[in-house]
Amino acid sequence: MENYRIDNLDKKILAELLQEAKTPYAQIAKKFEVSSGTIHVRIEKMRQAGIIQGTKVKVSPKALGFDVCCFVGIYLKSAKDYQPVAEQLSKIPEVLEAFYTTGQYSLLVKLIAPDMQRFQDVLINKLQSIEQVRSTETMISLQNPIYRDIEDLL
């Protein structure tokens, strides 16, 4: 199902699920004037195609006390170090996302911490202690004025 192409109904279903993943199929079906079975089949096809990769609860890091959000640009000693560093980064719970990039950094990492002291600990004792990391550059996020999911692109 790798080549599954979504149509307008699939896009509408995805937009609904992105707003509230627990929306009952019958409610979606009623809204789009199709059967619940049609919604079920469409969602299953999108799961099999890898378009839908599960459902998650959206959690506010700030509400849980994670007040510091930083982006860390990582310079590697060598391009071949990417995979081992990515594997080590995946073991650091404070790392929310990592991107292998073009440009000045080899990797760009988004991480959160409850405070600057904890961030400094993660930076020095976890990130910078990875043998293949040559150096890092940190950007502290002051605000997140735009956050959206993909539904606006559907």
Structure tokens at 10: 């699939």
Residue 148 resides in a domain: no
- Do 23 and 81 lie in a common domain? no
Residue 149 resides in a domain: no
- Do 41 and 78 lie in a common domain? no
Q: What pLDDT, in 10s, does the model give residues 30-69?
A: 999 999 999 999 999 999 999 999 888 888 899 999 999 9
* pLDDT bracket for residue 23 (50, 70, 90): very high
Is 154:14 a contact under the CB 8 Å cutoff? yes
Three-state SS string over 80-110 comes to: HHHHHHHHHHCCCCCEEEEEECCCCCCEEEE
Find the CATH number of the domain harbouring 109.
3.30.70.920
Q: Which amino acid is residue 63, in one-letter code?
A: A
Residue 125 resides in a domain: yes
- Do 67 and 135 lie in a common domain? yes
Mean pLDDT taken over the chain: 94
Q: What pLDDT, in 10s, does the model give residues 87-138?
A: 999 999 999 999 999 999 999 999 999 999 999 999 999 999 999 999 999 9
Residue 18 resides in a domain: yes
Residue 3 resides in a domain: no
Residue 154 resides in a domain: no
- Do 75 and 120 lie in a common domain? yes
Structure tokens at 112: 């959160």
Query: Model pTM greater than 0.95?
Result: no
Q: Which domain holds residue 27?
A: 8-48
Segment 80-85 mean pLDDT: 96
Find the CATH number of the domain harbouring 40.
1.10.10.10
Report the run of H or E that residue 42 belongs to, with start and end. Answer: helix 36-48
Q: How many distinct structural domains can be found in the chain?
A: 2
- Do 133 and 76 lie in a common domain? yes
Residue 55 resides in a domain: no
- Do 66 and 105 lie in a common domain? yes
Residues making up the chain, counted from first to last? 154
